[in-house]
Structures are given as structure tokens and as C-alpha cells.
């Protein structure tokens, strides 16, 4: 997410973040972690036999 989108979603009480890019997920979670905590997370192999793995993260406002 770009900076403006991160800032906007930080206004929500709960965020369901779905990502297929672990590098940008970590970057965005560092920012979202200022206002939210991770309460659940899961990995999904939507495309078997490829290197892609999707992540779902449930965040709740601190």
C-alpha cells in the first residue's frame, strides 16, 4: 500500500490485510503496527506448485 492508503486504513478499527508479497506485507505491518495489533494470521497456498503464497492478517486497533 502507498502511504496515503496506509494512513486511511489506520482509521478503521479492524483490518483484514491480504497479501501475496511478503516484503511489502512486512513494510506495511510495521506502519500499521503503530495503531493496530495482529490478532490472527494465516498462510494460503492458492497456487500449488508455484513459489506464490498468500498471507491473511487480521489487525485490531490498539
Catalytic residue among 4, 6, 20, 41: 20
**Mean pLDDT over residues 51-59, rounded?**
93
* pLDDT of 46 higher than 90: no
Catalytic residue among 23, 27, 41, 54: 54
Split at pLDDT 50, 70, 90, the class of 30 is very high
Split at pLDDT 50, 70, 90, the class of 52 is confident
Does the active-site annotation cover 41? no
Split at pLDDT 50, 70, 90, the class of 50 is confident
Residue 39 lies in domain: 3-8+16-61
Q: Model pTM?
A: 0.86
Does the active-site annotation cover 54? yes
- For residue 44, what are the CA distances in angstroms to 32, 33, 39? 21, 22, 17
Number of domains into which the chain is organized: 1
Amino acid at each position: 500500500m502507498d502511504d496515503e492508503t496506509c494512513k486511511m486504513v489506520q482509521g478503521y478499527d479492524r483490518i483484514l490485510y491480504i497479501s501475496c508479497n511478503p516484503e511489502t506485507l512486512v513494510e506495511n505491518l510495521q506502519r500499521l503496527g503503530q495503531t493496530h495489533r495482529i490478532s490472527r494470521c494465516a498462510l494460503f497456498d492458492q497456487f500449488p506448485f508455484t513459489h506464490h503464497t498468500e498471507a491473511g492478517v487480521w489487525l485490531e486497533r490498539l
